[in-house]
Structures are given as structure tokens and as C-alpha cells.
Amino acid sequence: MVLCLTSALSKSLISPLRRGSGLRDTLNPVNPNFNYPEQTQVNPSDANIPYAAKFNTGYLTVNDNTKSKIFYTLFPAGGVKDASAGFNNNAPLILWLQGGPGCSDAPGNYDEIGPIYIDFQNGNFKPLVRNFHWNDKYNLLFVDSPVGVGFSVSGNERPDNAMDTVKYLETFLIKFFQIYSSLKKNDFYIFGESYAGHYIPALATVIVQNNTNNGIRLKGIGVGDGWTDAYIQLGSFSDYAFATSNLDDRSRNQVLTLQHNAREAIKAGKYAKGTEIFDDLTEYITTLNNGISPYNFEVYEEAPEYYPDWLNTTNVKKAFGVDPQVTFKNCVDQTYLDFYPDISQSYLGNYSYLLTQSIIPNLRIILYSGQNDIIVNTVGSYNFIKALDWSGTQGFINSKKKLLKEADGTVIGNYKNYKALTFSVIYNAGHLVPTDQPSAGKTMLDKFIQNQFSSTSIVEEISL
């Protein structure tokens, strides 16, 4: 991933919430002359992908009036090695939601948890199997959302907030499970990161409230380095960046002023202004430290991304059943700007609701954070958890912090757990935990899905 989205963009787009190159100014429009397939069975060899089984892509209409459609990619569990893998299985289904706002799911797919990544060797793109991915035991579903980003198309709509976005996602999921009826019985989880701290609790709330109608078998959600409550999380920048030696006394005072001004704007209901100052704060810390990544303070220069250009090749578009005239748009800066007010809105209440509702009993939540992430840092994440309107909040605060370990005993992080809520910090990782520490991220996922975070077999209490 790269820090600066593109040199042509204004400083306001050097944002903590969106990662990825391939930015475009406008959303992909619906092409009235193209027949958008709901299902395309992809033969991996058609795009030189080293994946044993066939996987699926497709478009599902989420607004019958505008014809806006969401593009998806679906991998069957075990498909990397098993050519017979399909979707009639009992493996959990994980939906991944990328941050942004205004980014496709391709970063999560090709940079983080998906089975394939794209390299560039001898002048050619080369798809390769990722060493650590989430597709060995789980069906993976990636969606390009909001409409118009990635390969998705917009019927002259301009998404500008998370709530409207997730209503379309619920429509998508209802249609998805009608088509892939064999997966509807499977346990369903939603994971994502960054601005998914808005999307995921909002989508889970909609699924729960409409569960009688949608029938979605939601078992849990996981949010990594999630941006959820700007007012609370903005209060942690000076403390965290100073403690990690990224600020001195003078610069700390400057950050204190910026975060104070941003929070005052939010308190006054000037949400777009709060976001603008938030971006200024990000740029200040980055520039002060000679281009340090606000996503991981140990990183100055990040690896190049090849997947956006690969996805725009003719053979990949053909194999994926995509309109040959469409341009894959990894992130759309127009959408980011349209979401400016929403970025500073709080979605904390959705977490409180999910922890107190009884419609879907035993719905579990894991919030995880990379230790080295400045922007959505561990202090701010923990602070918004402490502000939950939930009868278990004090029990969570009082719970013992424990070590999280790999099977061989290697310590990879720590966590706190109380009832349905877990908060985990992954060591030596930044904003993108699965990219920075892929084995640790996968171990955390497995433990969560297997509901093992309360088991003494995998943890050790930290003596304080």
C-alpha cells in the first residue's frame, strides 16, 4: 500500500481512512448496453491464476430504479488446493468490507486476506498464492461498495453516508443468499477495517433489526483499526504519537490544538469541518516525521501495488464477466469527499445496540488494533469501547488483559474479553493487521470463529 493516494490530490485526501492507489475522480456509470451477469464462474486458468477450484464473480442490482449494481467475488473454502471445492459446504462465510470511504474490496482481497496476490515479474503481472490467507477454512466474499467503486456501477447516484451504503448491502445479501442458497445455512461473519468501523456495526444493526425478513445467519463481526467515533478517537492522537516518539513537546502542543479544534467542530455539529482538521492533523504528523506512514510508524516506503492495473487487463475483465469498457477504480476521491460529514459522525451506538439486543442471541464482536497504527490507534479504540452504553462495559474494563499466542507459544498480541466483546492488540502491526502480521491475523480470526478467546488453553494472564 502507498501512503499518498496520488500527488495530484489535495492534502485533504492524505487520509487515515483510505488506502490504495488507482484513484479516479468519478464513479463507474451503468452501461445500458451491457448485460450484467449475476453469476460468472471463473476458470482461473483464463487469467493465469494459480487457484485449483473455480470461483465466482457477478453483479447484483441494489436499486431497481437506478439499476445500480454491486460487483462481488466469491471464493469457496479450500479452493486454493482442492479443484472440487464448491459452495455446497458447511464452512463459515466471511464478508469483507474495505474502508475508505470510497474504496473497493480489492485491497482486502489482493493485499490482505484473499488467496491470491499480484506480483510483477519480467515485465508481466504474475498472480501468486498468498502464504497466509483466510480461504483455507472459510468461504470469502468480497464486494465493491459503495456503488460505483471498483467494478461496481452507479445509476447516477452519489453515496455519501454509511447508513445508505449498508442498506444497499443488505439488499445485496438478500439477493446473494437467494442465488447461493446452499450458503444460507452457514455461519456468517462480517470482517473489515478502518472505515468499516462505520460500515460493519451499521450493517450488523440493519441485519439484526430486519432479521425476520432477511433471515441472515449472522454469528459475529470483526473490525480492525476501526474508525467509529471521531470525537472520542481524535482525543488520543497527541498521547499516542508522543508516547511512540513521533512528537516532541512543541509538536505535541500543535497536535493538541488540532485535535481540540476538530473535536470542537464535531461537538458543534460541523462534521465536515471536523474531518478537514482531522486530515490536516494527519498531514502534520506525516510531514513532521519526514513522510512516515500514519498507518504504521515503522514504515516510510511501502511496497507497490500491482492488482489495480492487473484488474484492468482485458483477459481479467473477460474472465471475471466484467464490462470491457469499464475501468476498475480502486478508490474514488469523489466518494471520499461526499462522505466528508459522515466521517466525523459517531457509529458507537450501533455497537451498544448489538451488545444489548436479543434478536440474534450470542452475537459476538471482536475489535482488533495494530500496535503501530497512529491514526486509528490503540488508545482511541480502547477509549471508545469504554464509552459503550452497555451493562457489560465496566466488566470489560475490569477484565484481565491476557496474552495471545500462536500454537508454538509465540506471543503475537494481547486481548481483553468480557461476554460477547473482545478487544485485541496485535504486536508489530499497523493499520492493516493481515498485511503486516498475516500469521497473527489468521490466528486471531481462527480463535474468534472457534469462540476460544475465553479458553485458558490459548492465553496467559499478564501480571501487572
Q: Quick: pLDDT tens for 47-80.
A: 999 999 999 999 999 999 999 999 999 999 999 9
- Look up cell 474490496; give the residue: 105
Residue 47 three-state SS: helix
Tell me if the pTM is above 0.85.
yes
From residue 83, alpha-carbon distances to 51, 54, 316 in Å are 8, 7, 20
Residue 71 three-state SS: strand
From residue 461, alpha-carbon distances to 400, 404, 416, 448, 457 in Å are 7, 9, 10, 18, 11
For residue 464, pLDDT beyond 50: no
Model confidence band, residue 9 (pLDDT cutoffs 50, 70, 90):
very low
Higher local confidence (pLDDT), 11 or 445: 445
For 234, the grid coordinates are 481524535
Kindly report the CATH number that applies to the domain delimited by 11-227+303-449: 3.40.50.1820
Percent of the chain exceeding pLDDT 90 equals 88
- pLDDT score for 291: 87
- pLDDT score for 295: 93
Higher local confidence (pLDDT), 303 or 198: 198
CB atoms within 10 A of CB 212: 7
Stretch among 80-84, 374-378, 455-459 having the lowest mean pLDDT: 455-459
Q: What is the mean pLDDT of residues 327-352?
A: 95
Q: Which residues of 44-77 are buried (b: 16+ CB within 10 A; e: fewer)?
A: beebebebbbbbbbbbbbbbeeebbbbbbbbbbb
- pLDDT score for 7: 24
Cβ 23 vs Cβ 305: under 8 Å: no
Model confidence band, residue 438 (pLDDT cutoffs 50, 70, 90):
very high
For residue 463, pLDDT beyond 60: no
